[in-house]
Amino acid sequence: MKVHKQIHTAGKLYSCSQCEKCFTTERYLTFHLNVHSSKYKCAECGKCFNGNQSLSVHRRIHSGEKPFECTVCGKQFTDSANLDRHSRIHRGEKPHKCHECDKAFCQLVNLNTHMRVHTGDKPYKCSLCDKSFSRLNHLRSHKRHAHSNRKPYDCRWCGKLFKSSRELKQHVYTHTGAKPYSCRHCSERFRWLNGLKSHLLRSHNEGTWFTCHICQKKFSRKGDVKKHLVRHEAVKPYVCSECSYRFYTEGELKRHQPVHSDFKAFCCGRCGKDFKCKYSVVKHSKRCGGSLPFNFG
């Protein structure tokens, strides 16, 4: 019960003196310490492993080898364990349940991360500012967007640059029309994961609604609640430098700014007509034959 309690309170009481990595139990720490004295070391990145099999699996990261493929969606993995965990998504299995809100997860690591919502723990701190994050990927994303101007990923369709491979992958969908996220209850498919989650909630009552505590309006995404809450405030903090129009969110301001520019970043993929705003070209493309718009911004 002690170990179980530590996991659910995000308590990682045992830290490694050599790399400062933390663990929930002394047993996990002892197992980890073997890594630092291991003879199984990756020649590419220097990472150590407890056995030759673990090292062999790790080497696939550098070689790009992914021999295990999901028969449902075609996603590939470096080892069978990751494939099995992924397959739970298609089977609808969520064995790891939160005792605070009854939310369930396919993987234990996702449950442990979720528990920080209840504990308020933010263990990942930015070394360049005072911000802290509950997830490591949120910290990495923050550093890319807030403290770096590098955009190493370019789109082969239109040449647009991106800071992360994830952003590029999502952008490419606008050119290919791919809809990789399918509903397990019906034939609907979606371009974005958020679109699938919203559909599951609205059409199949699967998931959790997020409610505004002021007006009780419901939303399918937590981020949408945060955006909505600013509309209960009298102040519109984002001001256009050209015309002094004010907006509730930074996104609204960015969508407004092309009004003051002659640059037309969006192009109809069928007739080549240019537009300033994405909304305009999407509306036009439906009348023009349904071709996907291209973004040259």
Could you tell me if 41 and 139 lie in one domain? yes
Q: What does the DSSP 8-state code read for residue 44?
A: T
Q: How far from 267 is each of 168, 260, 263, 281, CA to CA, in Å? A: 19, 18, 11, 7
Could you tell me if 88 and 38 lie in one domain? yes
Judge whether 13 and 29 are in contact, CB under 8 Å.
no
Listed residue (266, 90, 250) closest to 182, CA to CA: 90
Could you tell me if 43 and 138 lie in one domain? yes
214 has pLDDT over 70: yes
Could you tell me if 165 and 289 lie in one domain? no
> 38 or 246: which carries more pLDDT confidence?
246
- Among residues 193, 220, 247, which one ends one of the domains? 220
> 246 or 144: which carries more pLDDT confidence?
246
Could you tell me if 134 and 163 lie in one domain? no
**Percentages of the chain per state (helix, strand, coil), in multiples of 5:** 40, 15, 45
Of 30-44, 215-229, 252-266, highest mean pLDDT? 215-229
The per-residue pLDDT for 203 is 92
Is residue 9 assigned to a domain? yes
Could you tell me if 16 and 136 lie in one domain? yes
Cα–Cα distance for residue pair 208/101, rounded to 1 Å: 10
Total of domains in the chain: 3
Judge whether 276 and 266 are in contact, CB under 8 Å.
yes
Could you tell me if 111 and 26 lie in one domain? yes
Phi–psi pair at 85, nearest 5 degrees: -65, -40
Is residue 271 assigned to a domain? yes
With a CB cutoff of 8 Å and minimum separation 6, the contacts of 49 are 35, 38, 40, 41, 42, 55, 58
Tokens of 38: 């291991």
With a CB cutoff of 8 Å and minimum separation 6, the contacts of 51 are 40
Of 56-65, 159-168, 183-192, highest mean pLDDT? 183-192
Could you tell me if 137 and 41 lie in one domain? yes
Residue 190: which H helix or E strand, with range?
Answer: strand 189-190
Could you tell me if 167 and 50 lie in one domain? no
The per-residue pLDDT for 289 is 66
List pLDDT tens digits, range 105-145: 888 888 888 888 888 888 888 888 888 888 888 888 888 88
Could you tell me if 21 and 130 lie in one domain? yes
The residue range of the domain holding 272 is 238-295
List pLDDT tens digits, range 23-63: 777 877 777 777 676 677 888 777 777 778 888 888 888 88
Could you tell me if 260 and 191 lie in one domain? no
The mean per-residue pLDDT over the stretch 262-266 comes to 76
Judge whether 219 and 201 are in contact, CB under 8 Å.
no
The per-residue pLDDT for 10 is 44
Is residue 228 assigned to a domain? no
Amino acid present at 293: P
What is the CATH classification number for the domain harbouring 64? Answer: 3.30.160.60
* 293 band by pLDDT with thresholds 50, 70 and 90: very low
